[in-house]
């Protein structure tokens, strides 16, 4: 581990700008390049937006932890919303025409495509922990 940083925000879309700034600052400190940082920011934005809009649907808190482990930038988005495992969500079939492929799950598809690994954990005390991992070195 290399200096995990963690902060908590109100689960509100107005928190997104601060959350992105926090993750961007941490990612650069932990050695992510511009492209890796950009991908992770998009993915984190989707994860937090899902938590706010679909998880809570109201007031709550979102905690974001950023760390570097085993050559990966790891961003954990944690909430106390009802359990939902997005990694079990079916990816939309993007090879079919737009009016057939269905547009649900677009955010989760983006998270998958922008990161190298997504790990979901449902803590025994409730809530959700979704960790987005991005390879920072070629020897991962």
Partner 1 sequence: MDITQREEKGVVVFSLNGRIDNDGATKMEQTLQSAAEAGKSKMVLDLSTVQYINSAGLRVLAEFLTVNREKGGELYLSAVNSRVKRVFQIVGFDNFFRMFDSTVDAVNAF
Contact residues for partner 1, defined by CB under 8 A: 13, 16, 38, 42, 45-46, 49, 53, 94-95, 97-99, 103, 106-107, 109-110, 113-114
- In whole angstroms, the minimum distance from the beta carbon of 16 to partner 1 comes to 7
Closer by beta carbon to partner 1, 13 or else 90? 13
Of the candidates 67, 63, 65, 62, which has an alpha carbon nearest to the alpha carbon of residue 52?
62
- In whole angstroms, the minimum distance from the beta carbon of 48 to partner 1 comes to 11
- The rounded Cα 133 to chain-centroid distance in angstroms is 9
- In whole angstroms, the minimum distance from the beta carbon of 98 to partner 1 comes to 5
Find the DSSP H helices in the chain: 16-29, 34-50, 98-101, 106-114
Sign, Cα dihedral of 2, 17, 102, 39: negative
Q: Roughly what angle, to the nearest 10 degrees, separates helices 34-50 and 16-29? A: 150
Closer by beta carbon to partner 1, 99 or else 139? 99
Closer by beta carbon to partner 1, 61 or else 110? 110
């Amino acid at each position: 581990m290399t200096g995990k940083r963690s902060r908590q925000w109100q689960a509100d879309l107005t928190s997104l700008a601060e959350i992105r700034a926090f993750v961007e600052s941490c990612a650069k400190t932990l050695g992510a390049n511009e492209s890796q940082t950009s991908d992770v920011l998009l993915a984190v934005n989707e994860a937090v937006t899902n938590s706010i809009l679909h998880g809570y649907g109201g007031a709550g808190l979102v905690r974001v932890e950023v760390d570097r482990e085993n050559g990966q930038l790891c961003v954990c988005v944690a909430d106390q919303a009802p359990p939902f495992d997005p990694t079990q969500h079916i990816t939309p079939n993007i090879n079919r025409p737009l009016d057939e492929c269905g547009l649900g799950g677009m955010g989760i598809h983006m998270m998958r495509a922008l990161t190298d690994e997504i790990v979901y954990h449902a803590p025994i005390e409730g809530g959700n922990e979704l960790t987005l991992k991005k390879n920072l070195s070629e020897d991962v």
